[in-house]
Amino acid sequence: MKEIILLKDGEIALKGLNRYSFEDTMIKNAKRRLSSLGRFRFYKAQSTIYIEPMEEGLDMEEAVERLKKVFGIAAICRTCVAEKNWEDICRLAPVYLKDTLEEASTFKVTAKRSDKKFPLNSPQICNELGGLLLSRFPHLRVDVKNPDVIVTVEIRDYAAYIHAGQLPGPGGMPVGSSGRAMLLLSGGIDSPVAGYMMAKRGLELSAVHFVSPPYTSDRAKLKVIQLAHLMTPYCGNINLHIVNLTKIQERMLDKCPEDLFTILLRRFMMDIAQRLSLKESSSALITGESLAQVASQTVYAIACTDAMVQQPVFRPLIGMDKEEIIRIARSIGTFETSILPYEDCCTVFTPKHPKTKPTLQMVLEAETLLPEREELIAEALEAVETVKVTMSGAAGYIE
Ligand code: ATP
Ligand code: MG
């Protein structure tokens, strides 16, 4: 018995002539996610993407789990392939659907016939197959309004497909179809969620994480590499740049007003992130900021950080409550790692009374106290460590 997976796309289908390039990006992403499971063949026909296993014993359940995280896919359907004749459909349906139907109490049959030359019409298919399944599984009842299982028969160009309905895909746009952006990834709850949300709109991600050793530890850095790793089933590979801010922070502590420390630090971060972004042909920055969550996320503070950079800054969490953010973090599997209690460079030297209403003028004046700003940034960029994080790990850290 041959089993394959059908994918249907959602929003992409509305893209007119560009549809095919979006689909190709989605197929490329899906291929990559399945490649470590074995050989699959992908092809398109009748606005459906077909994924056919090319080896015996491939893990179809895991394949479906992985596809549930590939943005752009609207629905996923695991289905049995039958010859396009009534005998073969009747032979395979009870065998293929045995476990599902044994667990169900009610069912109905629906039929889709894109080949109108098939000898039975849709109501006939439903009646005949419904009767056959009732005789084989006598505990079942037909319920056309709210059945436990909808048995579907699709008569297409070259074959018939029998399945028990489709699963929702993750929706969104294929990663890479919207270009690339640089995520400021901390070890917290918010920034992985922000990255996930923008990847869902088709952005491929690079990431930057700022450390401040010895005030921040190796395990804090490892935690962030782990977070990036947890994002890869959704976002694909991530080039994670690790930038050392120790000298910049010590210098600021020495020379700048304490109550502006956080906002000055955030401007350094944005500045460095944008330089890395430009180097990677990435067109925007992404942060996990949420309005009023902390002192550095007031509208005044955000105005000062934004003024540092020219690239657009995407803040998908800006209007969300922590509870909503946590719900997403849990569902994508980053929450448990995010709450490990390790240091972040933002929490070393935090001022006791940070200014919640800084003005750009105040901030620019404070920055004149650091005339060596350019050299400090150049030095930090010189020493960047870049870790390539993939679904299978991160060389040197997660094997
Ligand atoms: P998160 O939960 O993402 O850490 P947060 O609520 O702790 O966010 P802040 O510490 O003010 O907020 O950081 C706001 C945003 O700045 C983060 O979402 C992230 O995008 C960026 N950021 C903060 N610290 C770092 C860091 N060490 N490296 C990279 N980006 C950072
Ligand atoms: Mg944080």
- Tens-place pLDDT, residues 16-68: 777 888 999 999 999 999 999 999 999 998 788 999 999 999 999 999 999 99
**Taking the alpha carbons of 316, 215, 333, 238 in that order, is the dihedral positive or negative?**
positive
Average pLDDT value for residue range 231-245:
97
For atom 17 of ligand 1, the residue with the nearest CA is 288
| Under 8 Å between Cβ of 120 and 87 | no
Mean pLDDT of the chain: 93
pLDDT exceeds cutoff 90 at 77: yes
356 pLDDT higher than 90: no
Determine whether the shortest distance from the Cβ of 249 to ligand 1 is under 6 A.
Answer: no
Name the residue of 182, 184, 185, 186 whose CB sits within 8 Å of the most ligand 1 atoms, as the mutation to test its pocket. 186
Whole-prediction pTM value?
A: 0.93
> What pLDDT is attached to residue 114?
87
By three-state DSSP, how is residue 355 classified? coil
CA 74–ligand 2 middle distance (angstroms): 33
**pLDDT of amino acid 123:** 95
Structure confidence at residue 15 (pLDDT): 72
Section 265-275 average pLDDT: 97
Token code pair at residue 190: 């918010």
Closest C-alpha residue for ligand 1 atom 2: 188
Average pLDDT for residues 133-139, to the nearest whole number? Answer: 96
Percent of the chain with pLDDT over 90: 83
Cα distance between residue 200 and residue 196, in whole Å:
6
Residue percentage of the chain with pLDDT more than 70: 99
Determine the pLDDT at residue 54. Answer: 96
- Does 330 have pLDDT greater than 90? yes
Length of the chain measured in residues: 399
The per-residue pLDDT for 203 is 98
Ligand 1 binding pocket includes 243 (Cβ within 6 Å): no
276 alpha carbon, closest ligand: 1
Return the minimum-mean-pLDDT range out of 123-132, 135-144, 352-361: 352-361
The reported pLDDT for the residue numbered 201 is 96
Strand order across the beta sheet in which 238-244 lies? 313-314, 284-286, 180-184, 204-211, 238-244, 385-390, 393-394
Strand partners for 206: 182, 239
Closest protein CA for atom 31 of ligand 1: 186
Taking residues 322-345, what's their average pLDDT? 93
pLDDT of residue 9: 80
Block residue for tokens 């901390």: 186
Q: DSSP letter string over 46-104?
A: TTEEEEEE-STT--HHHHHHHHTTSTTEEEEEEEEEE-SSHHHHHHHHHHHTHHHHHH-
Ligand nearest to the CA of 183: 1
294 lines ligand 1 (CB under 6 A): yes
pLDDT tens-digit profile of 222-233? 999 999 999 999
State residue 28's pLDDT score.
96
Closest C-alpha to ligand 1, atom 24: 186
Question: Across the strands, what pairs with 113?
Answer: 155
Neighbours of ion ligand 2 (CB under 5 A): 186, 188
294 — pLDDT class (breaks 50, 70, 90): confident
Q: Is the pLDDT of residue 12 over 80?
A: no
- Residue 345 has a pLDDT of 79
Distance 191 CA to ligand 2 centre (A): 8
User: For residues 299 and 240, is the Cβ–Cβ distance under 8 A?
Assistant: no
Mean pLDDT, range 368-396, rounded to an integer:
95
Which of 47-56, 124-133, 338-347 is least confident? 338-347
The per-residue pLDDT for 19 is 80
Cα dihedral 336, 342, 347, 352 sign: positive
Residue 275: pLDDT band with limits 50, 70, 90: very high
Ligand 1 pocket residue status of 184, Cβ below 6 Å: yes
Q: Nearest-CA neighbor of 232 among 384, 341, 388, 340?
A: 388
Which residue's CA is minimally distant from atom 1 of ligand 1?
Answer: 188
Q: What is the pLDDT of residues 165-185, one digit of tens each?
A: 899 999 999 999 999 999 999
348 pLDDT band (50/70/90 cuts)?
confident
Question: How sure is the predictor about 354, in pLDDT bands with cuts at 50, 70 and 90?
Answer: confident
Q: Ligand 1, residue 208: give the atom nearest the CA.
A: 29
Confidence at 399, pLDDT banded by 50, 70, 90: confident
State yes or no: pLDDT of 298 exceeds 90. Answer: no
Determine if ligand 1 sits within 6 Å of the CB of residue 210. yes
Quote the pLDDT of residue 193.
Answer: 98
Number of the ligand closest to the Cα of 339:
1
